[in-house]
């Protein structure tokens, strides 16, 4: 691959991911809007609608970062429900805590946790989401099993993640964008080219639609369906704990 990240041993990947999110935390939200031209809001809206969270449900937002998804779910579950925001990175959770407080969201517990080893009792949640997070996880199969375990039987997992563009033309444009424009924007706006190179590279290495679907099925999910957004630049996978 372009930058040789594939050679990075497991422990180093974990450190690199930590370094990336420590360094981008304070600029994270602005960069999201900038890099996706605001479209990440529509992708998240799609996941929120597909999740169909109802009053009284228990929802876990894994790798939730600054809490975009959690904030919406907290409106939907109402006073008898529960939303937990979790992430491995303290700096991202710090931003999340500040932003949720700014928006007047209270009663939303925040838990620092690795998606591979979620510290929740089995069968705790009706719905789990992981938005642009699975890509960063070292052992994705382990994380999928860990999320499956924390779901009640019949509960649903929604994975929102970059995926593989379905057309060749789009794929070419997207390559130009992510390997040229993205690092440049990272340098100019966040003074951090390396983190945005990591972003582009991690997207390329992430399993495509079909592979991720098989991984979910192997981890204990059924009726798994894939929804391509923006021509497959992003995909949502929804599966139910069997
Ligand atoms: N879900 C948020 C959103 O969509 O705006 C944040 C996404 S951000 C691109 C990815 C997040 O994954 C970061 O906050 C990072 O700390 C977190 N992350 C990386 N590895 C993780 C792991 N093993 N377990 C839990 N979270 C992890």
| In a domain? residue 184 | no
Phi-psi region of 37 (alpha: psi -120 to 50; beta: other; left: phi over 0): left
Could you give the percent of the chain with pLDDT greater than 90?
A: 79
State mean pLDDT over 184-196: 88
Question: Quick check: ipTM above 0.95?
Answer: yes
Q: Identify whether the C-beta of residue 239 lies closer than 8 Å to the C-beta of residue 157.
A: yes
Q: 109-154 pLDDT, tens per residue? A: 999 999 999 999 999 999 999 999 999 999 999 999 999 999 999 9
Range of the domain at 141: 5-164+207-241
140 CA from centroid of ligand 1 (Å): 13
The answer to whether residue 190 scores a pLDDT higher than 50 is yes
Range with lowest mean pLDDT among 26-30, 63-67, 165-169, 170-174: 26-30
Query: Mapping DSSP to helix (H, G, I), strand (E, B) and coil, where does residue 83 land?
Result: strand
Contacts of 18 (CB under 8 A, 6+ apart): 88, 89
| In a domain? residue 154 | yes
Could you give the percent of the chain with pLDDT greater than 70?
A: 96
| In a domain? residue 174 | no
For ligand 1, whether the C-beta of 146 sits within 6 Å is: no
- pLDDT of amino acid 8: 56
State mean pLDDT over 40-67: 97
* CB atoms near residue 8 (< 10 Å): 13
For ligand 1, whether the C-beta of 24 sits within 6 Å is: no
Q: Mean pLDDT in the chain? A: 93
**The domain spanning residue 94 has which CATH number?**
3.40.50.150
């Amino acid at each position: 691959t372009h930058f040789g990240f594939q050679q990075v041993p497991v422990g180093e990947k974990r450190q690199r991911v930590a370094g990336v999110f420590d360094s981008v935390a304070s600029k994270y939200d602005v960069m999201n809007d900038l890099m996706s031209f605001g479209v990440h809001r529509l992708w998240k809206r799609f996941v929120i609608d597909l999740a169909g969270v109802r009053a009284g449900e228990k929802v876990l937002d894994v790798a939730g970062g600054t809490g975009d998804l959690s904030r919406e779910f907290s409106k939907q579950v109402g006073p008898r429900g529960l939303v937990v925001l979790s992430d491995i990175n303290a700096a991202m959770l710090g931003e999340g805590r500040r932003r949720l407080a700014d928006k007047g969201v209270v009663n939303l517990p925040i838990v620092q946790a690795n998606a591979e080893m979620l510290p929740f009792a089995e069968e705790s949640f009706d719905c789990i989401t992981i938005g642009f997070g699975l890509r960063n996880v070292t052992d994705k199969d382990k994380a999928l099993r860990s999320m499956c375990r924390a779901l009640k039987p019949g509960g649903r997992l929604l994975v929102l993640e970059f995926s593989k563009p379905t057309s060749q033309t789009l794929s070419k444009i997207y390559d130009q964008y992510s390997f040229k424009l993205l690092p440049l924007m990272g340098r100019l706006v966040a003074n951090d080219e390396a983190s945005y190179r990591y972003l582009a590279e991690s997207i390329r290495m992430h399993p495509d639609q079909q592979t991720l679907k098989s991984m979910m099925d192997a981890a204990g999910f059924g009726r798994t369906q894939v929804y391509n957004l923006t021509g497959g630049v992003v995909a949502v996978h929804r599966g139910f704990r069997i």
